[in-house]
A and B are shown apart, each in its own frame.
Chain A
């Protein structure tokens, strides 16, 4: 479904991505792991067109590299950024409405789905999103992207800084997303959820993919975990 080949990206003069190859299949959950600063977030941004990508990014056979982000989103890719980026002055409901690509055009997800999954958001739907707790903002950001009915969703560090109970909620939502046939590319640093739900994992180091395999392969490869993942 998503095919990334020899992807390079730069921030000014510094070369961040050194030729990433990565695939996500139809309905698949794939995780992208690695320590801070190895280029995981940049990979997502480059796929999304938020940093200028060099190389090939094809989605269902369509070349996306060089396209504007809003057109990439309309091609069917959703993006949940690491820093959440809720629209702070707008209400929870308005944030969700902005997830829709056209007013009233619902796909797999409706307001009711979101409010059933997260009663907290329902209770606060008319409050400004800026006053929500960190956990609630995380759920809102994910749901906002889902309202746009993506076929593939890139989720960057959804559990970062969340309490264990909320991490569990993120896990529930990811399972729900997968059950509706949406493919997921999950970016994580700690292996909070990735090992449990992914069929395939990539590990990044210094702007390159250093490992690709199943969770079992990764569990068996202690040297690799020590070198690229454990602190």
Chain B
């Protein structure tokens, strides 16, 4: 039981981190039709920048400065890159962001090297927050929950309660109509792209010392975030949130479940023996296929429900 409670909290921490990345991506994707491959690269950049800034100024200034730098980079990418490429269609945009992935990865490797960084949890947050049946819940994870909940509330207020949020929502479904009503839609696009990159950078800052800050972290996170976006459905932040939490829970729990399908069948009187392919498949513990589960879910949802959980249009 204690394992379940702690793992639920861990799943929530990871799910909220996913949401911080996926919310920006889903806004960009729904509004501009751009599947930004480089989104997870910005996440990685956020972690590296936070590492370097925290060496000079400490962790908390880095928590503010690194996301702002990522947002500024996002604005620059949108204004001088995507906006020009846009006229040549979605394939060109896709290839453009695909190219950015490699450029950012190389730049990171050239600047910081191939080895993992010693980017650690700040000492002021490095203590067990509480103990539950002998298992510790680190204070830093509580802090991550706090930051992501604050970001969730902030984004929600911005979208639902401000005029720019209203214009963003309008441009999400009918960009040309919003433009014909006198709203500067290219500026809205830049704002959303920069905002999405800012959130990705923020996720990098708090995720970089929770996971590991190394050149492969974008590749590790990228596919999962795409799964969340497709699973949650285009154009729906609520769907994106639910998908993030579900995938976060699945990934967290899959690692600790040591049972296989064969174990489930045993109480029913089915005992598998022999060395057949079927036996092999059914006796694989869930923990070993944990990384595969989200991708299987994405394929399944594309086959059976292409608009995702709460999407407003097909992927």
> Which of A's residues lie within 8 Å of B, judged by CB?
48, 50, 68-70, 72-74, 79, 81, 85, 87-90, 94, 97-99, 101, 103, 144-145, 148
Contacts and interface: CB of A to CB of B under 8 A. Distances in A.
Interface string B162-193: 01001101100110111111111110000000
B170 A69 contact: no
A77 B125 CA distance: 57
Contacts of A81: 177, 180
B89 to A, nearest CB: 11
B182 A148 contact: yes
Contacts of A148: 181-182
A98 B181 CA distance: 7
> Could you tell me the dominant secondary structure of chain B's interface residues?
helix
Nearest to A154: B180
Contacts of B174: 85, 87
Contacts of A79: 180
A77 B143 CA distance: 51
A70 B182 contact: yes
A90 B179 contact: no
B164 to A, nearest CB: 10
B170 A87 contact: yes
Given A68-B186, A94-B166, A97-B166, A145 B173 contact: no
Nearest to A103: B163
Contacts of A48: 180
Contacts of B184: 68, 70
B188 to A, nearest CB: 10
Contact of B173 (A73, A87, A144): A87
A97 B170 CA distance: 11
Contact count band on B: 10 to 19
B185 A70 contact: yes
Contacts of B177: 81, 85, 87
A98 B170 contact: yes
Contacts, number: 58
Contact of B180 (A73, A88, A89, A97): A73
Contact of A98 (B176, B183, B312): B183
B179 A50 contact: yes
Contact of B179 (A69, A97, A103): A69
Given A50-B176, A81-B177, A89 B169 contact: yes
A103 B174 CA distance: 20
Nearest to A88: B173
24 contacts: A48-B180, A50-B179, A68-B184, A70-B179, A70-B181, A70-B184, A73-B179, A73-B180, A81-B177, A81-B180, A85-B177, A87-B169, A87-B170, A87-B173, A87-B174, A89-B169, A90-B166, A90-B169, A90-B170, A97-B166, A98-B167, A98-B178, A98-B183, A101-B182
B27 to A, nearest CB: 14
Nearest to A94: B166
Nearest to B177: A85
Contacts of A88: 173
A213 B76 CA distance: 52
A138 to B, nearest CB: 14
A87 B174 CA distance: 7
A50 B179 CA distance: 9
A99 B170 CA distance: 11
Interface in B179-231: 179-186
A177 to B, nearest CB: 17
A99 B181 contact: yes
Contacts of A70: 179-185
A131 to B, nearest CB: 14
A32 to B, nearest CB: 17
A72 B181 CA distance: 9
A134 to B, nearest CB: 17
A144 B181 contact: yes
Contacts of B169: 87, 89-90
Contacts of A90: 166, 169-170
Contacts of B176: 50, 69
A89 B166 contact: no
Contacts of B179: 50, 68-70, 73
Contacts of A101: 181-183
A145 B183 CA distance: 12
